[in-house]
Structures are given as structure tokens and as C-alpha cells.
Amino acid sequence: MTNSKSEEHFDDWRKKIDSSSQKDADFLSYFDTSGSVEEAFCQGYWDFAHHILKDDLLPLIGEPFNCSALEIGFGGGRLLNASSRFFNHVYGVDIHENFDKVSEFLASRDVENFTLLKGDGKTIPLEDNSVDFIYSFIVLQHLPTIDILESYLHEVKRILKPGKAACLYIGHLPFNLHGIKYLDINTRKVDTTRENTLLLRPQTTKKLLKKAELHLVASGRPRKKPWRQDLGAQHYVIVTA
């Protein structure tokens, strides 16, 4: 995929997010369906506790009171709100233009220990070896191409302090069509703003992690919601730098 087409994908994303930003509930529901602002932030606590704070991860974090965390794709800030209660300082990176709205959401919940970073969709503006923990949930499955996912994995490796961990959720390809290892925006027609545009077989994900020099600790397939039995459209990996 050319850079221009990748930018077109991200531009479509920004436009849809902007069009939902007139009402707070609609804005938050764009990133994860919810009925109200309070429901969205309540779901944020559930998702962070159930999907991010895995048992295999906890021994790798260290004392979170003295640690920093980074969220790739903070959206409306619901998970950032939750992680701010666990970590000394939290960073969030995203490509949309509604940082003021997210800052207001967090400030209204007495969150002060956060920094929002504007990303370009491929790189993260933080220094090498500067963060103790990185996580991303229902974001990487919406990237346009596998090349951009690879870029993010290399950024995770670069930014994490040595030996520190990340919990990343990646779009899950549950079948194998004639040896296909992944599907991205190049191989199928999709709604580029909401549908899952990048799906990988778990074995392909493992190969990309190895290429990025990230060490796999654990992986699995989660339920869509903690209180539901059906599986979601992602698989997760816990890795160390």
C-alpha cells in the first residue's frame, strides 16, 4: 500500500471521529459502543482489568505506583482513565484531532497524571527506553496494512525499557484460505473507518514479534466482553523488550 493510500485511510478515520464529536456519548460510543458517557468509562474499568491486567503480565510490571504506561490509540480516553489509577504517569497516543475533548473528560474525573501525544499512524513521539508498560486494545485491528503494524511493533521495542512488558491486541484471522496468513486493506474491500481492516493468524503475529525482537511471554483469545461467553475479533500477546 502506498503512503498516500495509508493517509487516506487515516483521514477517513479522522473525519468519522470528528463527525461523532458533537455529542459526548456519540464520541465515546464511536470507539466502543456504549449508551452513555458514564457507561463508557465504567466499561473502560472492566476492559482494563479483564483484558489488559492479565495474570501473566502482572509480575513483569513491577510496582505500578512508580511506573509509566503508554496506550496506543487512546480514543475517547476510557482506558486511559482506568490506567491512570494504577500508574504514576500515563501517556496516550492517537491520530485524531479531539484531544481537548478527551482532556476535559479526564480532568472531570480528577485525572491529572496524563500526557496526550499526537501520532502519525506509524510512529510514537517518545524517547527510546522511556516507558515501563505499553498496551493497546481494539486498535491495531483497524490498521490498514501489516507494514504499519510492523512499524508499531518496532516502536514498542524502541520505547519500552529493557525487560519491561506490553500487552497488545491484534485482529484475529480465524481461518486459513489457501495459505493466507493475514488479510489487510489491500486484499479485501471494507469500511475503512469501522470494520476490522487487519486480521492475522496468531502464528503470523508470533513471527512479526520475533522480527521486532520482542519476546513472547503469553498469548490467547479473549472473550468479547468480560461478562459474555462469545469470543472477540482479536487475539492478545504479552511481550517483553
pLDDT at 13: 86
- Orientation angle between helical segments 202-211 and 146-159, nearest 10 degrees: 50
Let me know: does 6 contact 17? Beta carbons within 8 Å.
no
Name the residue with cell 521486532.
212
Q: What is the pLDDT of residues 219-238, one digit of tens each?
A: 999 998 888 889 999 999 99
The whole domain housing 98 covers: 3-240
CA 151 distance to own-chain centroid: 14
> Stretch 41-68: mean pLDDT, rounded?
95
Let me know: does 141 contact 233? Beta carbons within 8 Å.
yes
**15: CATH:** 3.40.50.150
Q: Report which of residues 107 and 10 the model is more confident about.
A: 107
**pTM of the predicted model, to two decimals?**
0.94
> Stretch 213-218: mean pLDDT, rounded?
98
Confidence tier at 191 by pLDDT (50, 70, 90):
low
Distance, in Å, from the CA atom of 70 to the CA atom of 211, rounded to the nearest integer, reads 22
Residues 6 or more apart from 236 whose CB is under 8 A from it? 51, 54, 167, 168, 169, 170, 219, 220, 221, 222
Which secondary-structure segment (H or E) carries 47?
helix 37-47
Grid cell, residue 77, equals 480516553
| Share of residues in the chain with pLDDT > 90 (%) | 82
pLDDT at 2: 47
Grid cell, residue 150, equals 510492523
Q: What is the pLDDT of residues 130-157, one digit of tens each?
A: 999 999 999 999 999 999 999 999 999 9
How many structural domains comprise the chain? Answer: 1
pLDDT at 196: 87
Instruction: Indicate the SS3 state at residue 166.
Output: strand
Distance, in Å, from the CA atom of 48 to the CA atom of 237, rounded to the nearest integer, reads 15
Mean pLDDT for the chain?
A: 93
Confidence tier at 57 by pLDDT (50, 70, 90):
very high
